[in-house]
Amino acid sequence: MAQSHGIKGFWQRLSHNEAAPGLVLMACAAIALILANSPLAAGWHGLFHHELGWTPVAKLNTAHLWINDALMAVFFFVVGLEIKREVLAGELSDARRRRLPVIAALAGMAVPAMVYLAVTAGDPALHRGWAIPSATDIAFAIGVLALAGKGLPPSLRLFLLTVAIVDDLGAVMVIAFFYTSGLKLAWLGASALILGVLALVNRMGVRALTPYIIGAIALWYAVLHSGVHATIAGVLAALTVPLALNRQHDSPLLRLEHALVAPNGFIIVPLFGLANAGVELGAMAGGSAALPLGIALGLLVGKQVGILGSILLAEKLGIAPRPEQTTLRQLWGLSLLCGIGFTMSLFIAGLAFPASPLLVEEAKLGILAGSILSAIFGMILLRGGRTAPE
């Protein structure tokens, strides 16, 4: 009993440590990179990509597909819960407070895409990867911000969270509209029907979790076969979960989010990192430098120019003030942290070049380089800016 209590207590402390998910993700990325360039590389690759002896879903016949198309649907389900909570009752519920984060997030997606397209202009085959450097890894970025230590204004963390949530919403829309092909109308119709039932269950005031969980699984299965990427089902299902509080100040959405945040940060995202971050550096010889360079520059340069530039421009034009008690150096450091694309960038890379493993590997190299450099420079700026503003 004491052991159970100790394990539960340890898990709760770990779950409340903001730096922990980012650190675990960094460790998994390092392990994947090391193993992919070691004598164990073939076995490591086979672990995720060899066909499974048995699978309950025929379309998911490898561990890699189960992670990217099933577990990542849970990741996007949590993203959907966070987006709904923020829009209805959080920072995005107030038009004045959401103005600057939305502007910064949009600029932080557009400018990296333009940098990428400028670098890869000579090769039209690479243009499908324009969205890869537009993403921000919220766990990684918040982890680095936590490691920067105390002395930074609370508004900085809140602003980073809000920008990242808007960025996640933008990434979901990009995946839905630009990386969907071969639609199957029967499965699409079934998906719409299931989504309608979930919305009706919400309207009927059902607060038990079971109908929403069963409905989410059914929706995922239908979307998986529809031609739309299966992870979109996670976001759509999350939007049907009720947020309205009861007398105990609880709701199905808050219960689900509370239950899934830790598994999402400590199991699902690290597994994704292990399965996707390993890039065989030796195999890159003779490849094009435009793709990794475009992604790395998009993350490192495009993100900070887009986000910091939009903050300063919005302030100068009187559209929205900067976050309270923040200095220019702190905002610059935050803008760099938004260049940590990692999880979402890796995910989009796989969607952008599904028929070209070499291009996916080149994209991974650019994502790792851009994310690591953004983290390092952002950390340097923030650690040196931990003083009260004048």
pLDDT of residue 158: 87
Q: Does residue 6 sit within a domain?
A: no
Pairwise CA distance, residues 32 & 26, whole Å: 10
Per-residue pLDDT tens for 215-229?
999 999 999 999 888
Pairwise CA distance, residues 152 & 160, whole Å: 12
Which residue has 């003083």 as its token pair? 387
Pairwise CA distance, residues 19 & 30, whole Å: 17
pLDDT of residue 63: 96
Global model pTM greater than 0.85: yes
119 within 8 A of 292, measured Cβ to Cβ = no
Pairwise CA distance, residues 158 & 140, whole Å: 15
Q: Does residue 248 sit within a domain?
A: yes
Angle at 365 between CA 179 and CA 45, to 5 degrees: 80
Per-residue pLDDT tens for 143-183?
888 888 677 888 888 899 889 889 988 988 999 888 887 78
For the stretch 349-385, what's the b/e string if a residue is b when 16 or more beta carbons lie within 10 angstroms of its beta carbon?
bbbbbeeeeebbbbbbbbbbbbbbbbbebbbebbeeb
Q: What is the CATH number of the domain that holds 68?
A: 1.20.1530.10
Domain count, the chain: 1
pLDDT of residue 388: 46
Q: Half-sphere exposure of 284 toward its Cβ, with a 13 Å CA cutoff?
A: 19
Largest CA distance in the chain: 64
291 within 8 A of 104, measured Cβ to Cβ = no
Q: Does residue 54 sit within a domain?
A: no
Q: Does residue 3 sit within a domain?
A: no
Pairwise CA distance, residues 192 & 197, whole Å: 9
Pairwise CA distance, residues 132 & 116, whole Å: 9
361 within 8 A of 290, measured Cβ to Cβ = no
Q: Does residue 236 sit within a domain?
A: yes
pLDDT of residue 21: 84
Pairwise CA distance, residues 237 & 218, whole Å: 10
Residue ranges of the chain with pLDDT lower than 50?
1, 388-390
pLDDT of residue 390: 37
- Reported as type and span, the H/E element at residue 188 is helix 185-203
pLDDT of residue 45: 92
Domain span at residue 297? 62-279+287-383
242 within 8 A of 253, measured Cβ to Cβ = yes
Q: Does residue 4 sit within a domain?
A: no
